[in-house]
Amino acid sequence: MAMMDLYGWIQLALFVGLLFLVTKPVGLYLVRVLEPDGKTWLDRPVRPVERLLYRVLGVDPKGEQDWKQYTQSLISFSLAGLLFTYAVLRLQHILPLNPQKLGPVRPDLAFNTAASFTTNTNWQNYAGETTLSYFSQMVGLVFHNFVSAAAGIAAAAALVRGIARHSAKTIGNFWVDLVRVNLYLLLPFSLVFSLFLTSQGIVQNFKPYVRTTPVESTTAAAPDKAGNSQIIAQGPASSQVAIKMLGTNGGGFFNANAAHPYENPTPLSNFIQMLSIFLIPSGLTYYLGRKVRNQKHGWAVWSAMAILFLAAALVCWRAESAGNPRLQALGVDPGGGNMEGKEVRFGVSGSSLFATVTTAASCGAVNSMHDSFTPLGGLVPLVNIQLGEVVFGGVGSGLYGMLIFVILAVFLTGLMVGRTPEYLGKKIESYDVKVSVLAVLILIFSILGFSAWATVSRWGLAGLNNSGPHGLSEILYAFSSGTGNNGSAFAGLNGNTPSYNITLALAMLFGRFIMMVPVLALAGNLARKKLIPPSEASFPASGPTFIIILIGTVLIVGALTFLPALTLGPVVEHLLMTGSGVLY
């Protein structure tokens, strides 16, 4: 273990290189999946199931929807799913597959959890091992791991159709997108992935927790240990972990999430899990380029994301490698970096890269405890979430979030050169800018509003595990993660109280749906527009200038909004760590 060692650099290069290589094939596959009659190599076994589902639902796969109908279907389906999961959690004591005989989940916690999984957040105010039955995990939660991911991809596809079409009324059919994404993309990919994960050691069984006789208790060496046993939680984890990563959900089967050796057993499982988070979001940028017939635009969006990602990964890695000077002063070897809350098999480089990936995307799985990161190491995941998780981002939500910034970037350049802004041959008008700004504002209001409320309330402060500036970071992280639908946490915060359960659930619902409605409205409005022929003065949606302006827009909107709060949290904490002897 050393500071920013060669192995870490090779790992990072390998990661970005492989991500680049899979982007085109995944993107091309997405093009087929997101066409109602697209052909895939799975047609023979899956097409009959697809047809059966349309018949059961009474859906005409040829009929398209305008943006209002599309939104209505999405919201209605999400509501039904939320109620379904709420019921499963409340009734788990009378449902099957509950070998540990766990009781029903409390109403406020069940509401929080149902909202959390419906919104693709997977914020967890419970510990899986001690709270949820196998049925609740496998049915109540895995259901949303699939369908919330599919809904996100559907919304992104709808927006891309809106951009690609002209003089059109419709943006696709939600039910067709939902069914096809699940059957042709998420399900087969997850099945293969799940088997790989089991090959690495992730459990997949329905057995009661295993009672063991630890080695030391069997020897005379430790008489006080005689009769001790270790009870090891089990469960159908592998199938859940596969879709948890591919669908950028992030909800851990076990409390420690991907730090748990049964959830992420080896350095290889760690690497592939990181790659699986970015797989679909990255492919969607290629899908964008293909559908708008401007592949350079797709790659420009990809490049902006990759640059922001590399910057974040390096800052986080550097901070965690440098470690905690307060512990080093006590005689802890500085060569090890900050190992509090980290696993030996991943080390600092495998943990800081995972933390960056999981928050750049809206995944939120963690293989190390972000709460115990150094101030600047912990700042990176927080900022990633606050920028809107547009750096590859969640499945679908990353792309539509970034496209909102593209619209704003185009608008800003239009203002700068004094021309009507246009994007890929369409005029960007007042309505488009208004809905885009609305989508950005909801994040800001929800994150800062709820955080401010919590910091001045007894219920807010009661949940803290750390005091001083780190306490503020815990609250800020919670509402950023909830609103951004990330789901990772500064997990010392005890959010399992009625007040936190309800405020966080609201933040998650606002962050998901009040964001999605403007996105779909934008899709509908763009689809309606006429194409205008490109001219000499048209601003190209690719190339270095475009990439720089896009990155600038993301950073300026994010930085300006959250800088004051970040200064009071992680930045002050960093200055105190390096320049004072204060402890909290």
- Residue 583 C-beta: closest distance to other proteins, Å: 4
- Residue 491 C-beta: closest distance to other proteins, Å: 5
Q: Which is nearer to other proteins, 91 or 444 (CB)?
A: 91
- Residue 577 C-beta: closest distance to other proteins, Å: 6
Quick note: the x/- pattern for other proteins over 1-40, rule CB under 8 A, is x-----x--xx--x--------------------------
Residue from 330, 417, 456, 537 touching other proteins (CB under 8 A): that is: 330
- Residue 430 C-beta: closest distance to other proteins, Å: 29
Residues between 347 and 386 with contacts to other proteins, criterion CB under 8 A? 347, 350-351, 366-369, 371-375
Q: Which stretch binds other proteins (CB under 8 A): 25-33, 142-150, 287-295, 545-553?
A: 142-150
What DSSP designation does 204 have? B
Q: Which is nearer to other proteins, 277 or 443 (CB)?
A: 277
Residue from 20, 60, 169, 212 touching other proteins (CB under 8 A): that is: 212
What DSSP designation does 335 have? G
- Residue 530 C-beta: closest distance to other proteins, Å: 30
Closest CA relative to residue 190, chosen from 208, 204, 176, 173: 204
Instruction: Please state the separation of Cα 215 from the chain's center in Å.
Output: 40
**DSSP H helices in 397-492:** 397-417, 430-455, 458-462, 469-483
552 interacts with other proteins by CB under 8 A: no
Q: Which is nearer to other proteins, 59 or 168 (CB)?
A: 59
* Whole-number CA gyration radius for the chain: 24
57 interacts with other proteins by CB under 8 A: yes
Largest CA distance in the chain: 86
Q: Which is nearer to other proteins, 222 or 462 (CB)?
A: 222
Residues between 492 and 531 with contacts to other proteins, criterion CB under 8 A? 492
- In one-letter notation, the amino acid at residue 438 is L
321 interacts with other proteins by CB under 8 A: no
Q: What is the dihedral of CA 277, 282, 283, 286, to 10 degrees?
A: 170
157 interacts with other proteins by CB under 8 A: no
- Residue 56 C-beta: closest distance to other proteins, Å: 5
232 interacts with other proteins by CB under 8 A: yes
Residues 6+ apart with CB under 8 A from 307: 547, 551
- CB contact at 8 A, 250 and 381: no
Instruction: Please state the separation of Cα 363 from the chain's center in Å.
Output: 2
Residue from 93, 169, 207, 434 touching other proteins (CB under 8 A): that is: 207
Q: Which stretch binds other proteins (CB under 8 A): 80-88, 391-399, 480-488, 546-554?
A: 80-88
177 interacts with other proteins by CB under 8 A: no
Closest CA relative to residue 506, chosen from 173, 175, 111: 111
Closest CA relative to residue 25, chosen from 369, 368, 279: 279
73 interacts with other proteins by CB under 8 A: yes
Q: Which is nearer to other proteins, 94 or 417 (CB)?
A: 94
Burial of 555-578, coded b for 16+ CB within 10 Å and e otherwise, reads eebbeebbeebbeebbbbbbebbe
Return the structure tokens found at 496. Answer: 């399992």
Residue from 160, 242, 505, 509 touching other proteins (CB under 8 A): that is: 242
- In one-letter notation, the amino acid at residue 43 is D
- Residue 106 C-beta: closest distance to other proteins, Å: 19
201 interacts with other proteins by CB under 8 A: yes
Closest CA relative to residue 432, chosen from 419, 417, 424, 421: 421
* Interhelix angle 430-455/498-509, nearest 10 degrees: 170
238 interacts with other proteins by CB under 8 A: yes
- CB contact at 8 A, 301 and 285: yes
Instruction: Calculate ∠ Cα 198-203-205, nearest 5°.
Output: 115
Q: Which stretch binds other proteins (CB under 8 A): 214-222, 449-457, 501-509, 546-554?
A: 214-222
Residues between 564 and 583 with contacts to other proteins, criterion CB under 8 A? 573, 576-577, 582-583
Closest CA relative to residue 303, chosen from 495, 82, 5, 19: 19
What DSSP designation does 105 have? P
Chain position carrying tokens 């802890």? 332
Alpha-carbon distance of 547 to 383, in angstroms, equals: 20
Instruction: Calculate ∠ Cα 457-460-463, nearest 5°.
Output: 145
Alpha-carbon distance of 35 to 57, in angstroms, equals: 19
- Residue 395 C-beta: closest distance to other proteins, Å: 15
- CB contact at 8 A, 104 and 202: no
User: Of how many residues is the chain composed?
Assistant: 584
Residue from 29, 67, 70, 77 touching other proteins (CB under 8 A): that is: 77
Return the structure tokens found at 154. Answer: 């559907």
170 interacts with other proteins by CB under 8 A: no
Q: Which is nearer to other proteins, 105 or 142 (CB)?
A: 142
Residue from 21, 191, 416, 532 touching other proteins (CB under 8 A): that is: 191
Q: Which is nearer to other proteins, 258 or 410 (CB)?
A: 258
226 interacts with other proteins by CB under 8 A: no
Q: Which is nearer to other proteins, 195 or 311 (CB)?
A: 195
180 interacts with other proteins by CB under 8 A: no
462 interacts with other proteins by CB under 8 A: no
92 interacts with other proteins by CB under 8 A: no
Quick note: the x/- pattern for other proteins over 279-318, rule CB under 8 A, is ----------------------------------------
Residues between 246 and 275 with contacts to other proteins, criterion CB under 8 A? 254-256, 259-262, 265-268, 270-271
Instruction: Please state the separation of Cα 7 from the chain's center in Å.
Output: 27
